[in-house]
Structure 1
Amino acid sequence: MEPKRIVIIGAVASGTKTAAKARREDPYAEITLITDEAEISYASCGTPYFISDIINDSRSLIVREPDYFRKMLNIDVLTEHRAESIDQKAKSIKVKNLKTAQTLTLAYDRLVLAVGASPNIPEYGGVQYGHIFTLHNIPSAIQIKSLIRQKMVKNALIVGGGFIALEMAESLITHGINTRLIIRRDRILSNFDKDTALLVQKYIKTKGVQVLEEDEVREFKADTDGNVSSVITKKQTVPADFVLLATSIRPNVQLAKNAGIEIGQTGAIHVNEKLETNIPDIYAVGDCVETKHLVTGKPVWIPLATTSNKHGRVAGINITGGNDTFPGIMGTFVVKVFDWTVAKTGLSEKEAIKNGFETETIIVPSNDKPHYYPGSKRVVIMLIAEKRSGLLLGAEIIGDGVVDKRIDVVASALAGRATVEQLSKYDLSYAPPYSSPMDPVITAANVLRNKLEGKTTSISPIETKEKIDRKDDFILLDVRTKPEHDRDRIEGCLHIPLNELLSKINQLDKTKEIVTYCGVGLRASYAHRILKNAGFEDTKFMEGSMAAWPYKVVR
């Protein structure tokens, strides 16, 4: 029997993972990796940390060299070769050597597209000027770091408000560079809810990042050397001798489209759970592929390294005659933002509503360890659930405490289609150095249970601010201690400490809506229940209270 001829186009995460797994499954297959880049199997997610000098050597970002695949795995690697076309009938591809311009034709029995995604370059005037970059591979990271080391960057502008933008803002601030971030909306992190995104935005401002909100680039201006020197925006002109375009990326689908491979409704390649395309013996993996969202059951395109690596394993099994499946994703991710960790899994509230769910949410700040244990830090948890069933739909967790393990707990709960009540009873580990007896995730689930069961009524800080801005006739009641109130407070509030509330309750107007707030929401919830039991019909507590308030306060 002739050995299988396996050709894989693309050699970063999903491509090399597919090749390595295929070799372990079939020691006799003829496997060829093709990439138009000089490097393979590199960790592009690590490039911001290389630029910030956390990682000193760019070679550390390379997981495996081409020679490893050639000598250790007997896999042929063609670097700086571009796949030009696919002939699905002849089961062959035409490949161009980018150094010599020569072309060759490779036959295949199984073909895998691992062609990834590319940055979108907005059509701004002057976008071709020097020192305007995208960050998408090691060479681009080396170029950016070289400019910084040469002290050529004093004023940086980052276009966009996603993960790369935030990671690079930290890198630039670390180097003492004046850093601005420009966004079209009023907040960063468009895939998060406003409640959490504004808290992160407030935090990065305290670290020195200037955020140009509800603004956009109109044109770049250059100096006499042809390098960017300033940026004209919708609202202003700002100096900039370095610009990073971090707006969005798009799946690389043109090769597939030209070959008649089906493109899904998200704009990425459509595959089944075995990662097969609509063309026999052609598979697709990684950032060029759409997949099923396990909460909605609908196709989504959420490019993540975790997905790419799992795709590679599944495809490597299937192209060698095995039978494995990839069920889908929850879109779980985590990002470091200065000293905070920012994470999300499942659906945001706005995504849930868009997908037809009637939602209930809660925002709960907690310490990641007991308050008495040294190093205890804050996390803010937002849980999203279906209102009628209590089915968990998603979570957003931020703060300087331990976030990653908590988002992974919620991701596991989502995979098991857990309800909020079930999550509240999870058997999670405890010891003072690691957590509280009631983990913050369990605490948040219990607070949401109270809301779902009608025991409490709450309002988010965003909704509270909207009421203030509309000049609604309501009482905003601060129930903290006098020293806390004197230190900082929300403008226009009434102050009655919780321990004086019962004795002064007759001073409050029962006909008015009352919103209580405190430091993190616990005392506000107690005050809300006291008022409710005393016959106040329209009372709510502000979720997260001051810990989740993203706006200005009176000091």
Structure 2
Amino acid sequence: MSQHVVVIGAVALGPKAACRFKRLEPGSRVTMLDESDVISYGGCGIPYYVSGEVADEQELRTTSFHMVRDVQFFKDVKGVDVMPRTRAVEIDRDARKVKYKNLATGESGELEYDQLVIATGATPRKLNLPGEDLKGVHYVSNPHDAVAIKEAIAKGEVNNAVVVGAGFIGLEMAEAFTDLWGVDTTVFEIFDQIMPRLVSPEMARMTQEHMEEQGVQFHLGETVKALEGDGRVQRVVTDKRTVEAECVIISVGVVPNDGLARDAGLECNERGGIVVDETMRTTDPAIFSGGDCVVVKNLVTGQPAFLPLGSMANRQGRVVGDNLAGGSSKFDGVLGSFVVKTFETSLAGTGLSLESAKAAGLDAASVLLVSLDRAHFYPSKDLMTLELVYEKGTRKVLGIQGFGNAGDAMVGRINAVAAAMKFGLTIDELSTMELAYAPPFSSAMDVLNSVANMADNAERGLNRGVGPEGFEKLWEQRDSGDYCFLDCREAPDAEPLMEKHPEHWCNIPQGEIYKRFSEIPEDKTVVLVCNTGARAYEAQVMLDHKGVKDAVTIRGGMAALKKWGMDV
């Protein structure tokens, strides 16, 4: 039977749900309204438009076959009526009506619905700082922001930029300013690392180190107090310094737009976000919701999660479209998969970081591996860093984060783990996971298999190690006389550090451990170091065999220390 579906919101989930439903029920009517005059755009592409990698803002609003997704497109191609510049002001659930106001004309009206979709998205979080309304202060929430930023840069009005917040958008915008335009860019983050809670301090510092090499400045653990200027922003004042800036990006997260749903009496999470079930229904069976305005289940912790990502909104939109037409599709929850490009590298992850896992009350541990992303003899090989988080005892994989080049190799590994984690992946299953192999693409023992093997060895007590941060703490105590830093590489690799630190750094290649065992001091903790950690682990096994249990490996080895920015 023909029905009328009203969709509030026309950016990501709204259009996806509307179009999916129309394909399933061509005879039904769909009306979509949105406050903006620009609809159905790829907001995640905004930093790449600012950087120049996407040449035209309109490309963010086109289909893969180059048609602009505007009002006429939805009318002619999709059979969906769109009301732009129209705000939904009230939902009357008893009468099944949406009251609206046209922002261009001021006129009000009502739309009757059989079923309703709330896709109101989220609003950038404001800091309510003095000067936050100055010209040149942006939130990067829509194409209008993107155009204004790029025009100002192109006109030569921006020599210095400040980014407040070192999350996804903050890092992408910092790259955009620096890479193509050569703008002096400073990032302020209130936490003591970039990408807080998403990755470990080691992974965060590796990414930061690379971005600093490209010219981006970071100030961590610093609070922005005010923005100053005469009509246009000129300075950013923090609790520690004042920095010049003609453009400021505030990227400190978003707040779900759940006000319309709350006012209508729909259940919402106490921390924000509309509550939906696996079918994306709200507590009113005639009303669906999804995208940046809802909370869903975290598949690792089982707790409510807020994850504002365009990819998730599109997947949920199909589920909503199916169920509007009487289907039974389900969206079971999220792991929190992400990837962010940082110049020639990328940082990605899925599931929980070690910090987040412990905060959730899980008995978690992690291992850090630096290994080649393809066969060691293949010319274009590169190092990839993976940190695997798992639950002790159950050996269940809780998350994985990776840092590597900006190609597909590293994010492909993260995606493989994400797909398997939904089914309760363990480190044993990851250890034997089947992955496509050819030397140009991977090693015979893939890096994913290797990081799982490392976790297995750690659980068995065979590989007892620390990462770069742990090594730094040990190195700070080198004058105590309690530690012997034993380089397990061949002599030519170890000699520079032996010459630099003759009292602390010694060398016995891993293959000579047994025959030179007498040289290893019995009264000190032996800190084993090699290029990536593999030979250090082998040396630890040999020392165990000889009865030396007070030995620790540096996971990731010298490669991890270098990426971390530590000059031994």
Task: Give the TM-score range, shorter chain.
Answer: over 0.9
Distance 1:124 1:542, change over 3 A: same
User: Aligned pair 1:202/2:209, yes or no?
Assistant: yes
State yes or no: 1:539 paired with 2:551. Answer: yes
Offset at 1:456?
A: 2.1
Q: Could you tell me which residue of structure 1 aligns to residue 131 of structure 2?
A: 126
Deviations 1:306-354 (A, max 9, x none): 2101110111111122221111111111111111121110111111112
In structure 2, what is the Cα distance between the partners aligned to 1:539 and 1:9?
61
2: CA distance, partners of 1:24 / 1:426? 38
Q: CA deviation at 1:276?
A: 0.9
Kept in 2: contact 1:295–1:393 (CA 8 A): yes
Q: Secondary structure at the match of 2:415?
A: helix
Contact 2:43 2:310 in 1 (8 A): no
Pairing 1:433–2:440 present:
yes
Does the alignment pair 1:222 with 2:217? Answer: no
Aligned CA distance change for structure 1 residues 554 and 434 (closer, same or farther; 3 Å): closer
Aligned to 1:58: 57
1:117 paired with 2:122, answer: yes
Report the equivalent of 1:462.
Answer: 469
> Aligned runs of 1:18-417 on 2, under 5 Å?
18-63=17-62, 64-174=69-179, 175-190=181-196, 191-223=198-230, 226-400=231-405, 402-417=409-424
Work out the CA distance in 2 between the residues paired with 1:477 and 1:206: 30
Kindly, what percent of the aligned residue pairs are identical? 34
> How many pairs were matched up?
552
Kept in 1: contact 2:209–2:565 (CA 8 A)? no
Structure 1 residue 469, shift from structure 2 partner: 4.3
Is structure 2 residue 519 aligned with structure 1 residue 512?
A: no
- The 1:201/1:486 distance shift into structure 2, 3 A limit, reads farther
Give the deviation of 1:487 after TM superposition.
5.3
Q: Tell me how far 1:488 sits from its aligned partner.
A: 6.3
- The code of the aligned residue for 1:414 comes to M
Q: 1:78 to 1:14 in 2, by over 3 A?
A: same
Could you tell me how far apart the structure 2 residues matched to 1:284 and 1:477 are? 58
Residue 425 of structure 2 is matched in structure 1 by: 418
Structure 2: gaps (5+ residues): 63-68
Deviates more, 1:79-88 or 1:531-540: 531-540
Assess if the C-alpha contact under 8 Å between 2:202 and 2:564 holds in 1. no
Deviation digits for residues 242-299 of structure 1 (CA, Å, limit 9, x no counterpart)? 1110111111111111111111244111011111111231111111111111112211
1:478 corresponds to? 487
AA partner of residue 360 (structure 1): A
Which ranges of structure 1 fall in alignment gaps of 5 or more residues? none
Change (3 A) 1:208 1:447: same
Moved more, 139-148 or 528-537: 528-537
Change (3 A) 1:443 1:53: same
Asked if the contact 2:508–2:516 (Cα under 8 Å) also holds between the matched residues in 1, the reply is: no
Q: Relative to 1, partners in 2 of residues 1:107 and 1:487: Cα closer, same or farther, differing over 3 Å?
A: farther
Distance 1:220 1:323 in 2: 50
CA distance in structure 2 between the aligned counterparts of 1:552 and 1:62, rounded to whole angstroms: 40
Distance 2:564 2:443 in 1: 29
* 2:453 aligned partner, one-letter code: N
Q: Deviations 1:470-511 (Å, cap 9, x if unpaired)?
A: 677333333233443455699784221324544443233323
Whether contact under 8 Å (1:478, 1:493) holds in the other structure is no
Write the deviation string for residues 362-412 of structure 1: whole angstroms up to 9, x where unpaired.
111111111221221121011111110211111001111621110011112
Name the amino acid aligned to 1:250: V
Q: Do the aligned residues in 2 keep the contact of 1:488 with 1:553 (CA within 8 Å)?
A: no
8 Å CA contact 2:384–2:403 kept in 1: the answer is yes
Structural RMSD (CA): 1.8
Report the residue type matching 1:59 in the other structure: Q
Q: Call closer, same or farther: CA 1:519–1:71 in 2, change over 3 Å.
A: same
1:466 aligned partner, one-letter code: K
Distance in 2, matches of 1:16 and 1:478, equals 59
Amino acid at match of 2:132: V
Q: Secondary structure at the match of 1:290?
A: strand
1:403 is paired with a residue whose SS is helix
Change (3 A) 1:488 1:309: farther
In structure 2, what is the Cα distance between the partners aligned to 1:267 and 1:284?
14
Deviation at 1:79, TM superposition (A): 0.7
CA contact (8 A) 2:33 2:84 kept: yes
For 2:535, the equivalent position in structure 1 comes to 523
Could you tell me the TM-score, scaled by structure 1's length? 0.96
Distance 1:169 1:69 in 2: 35
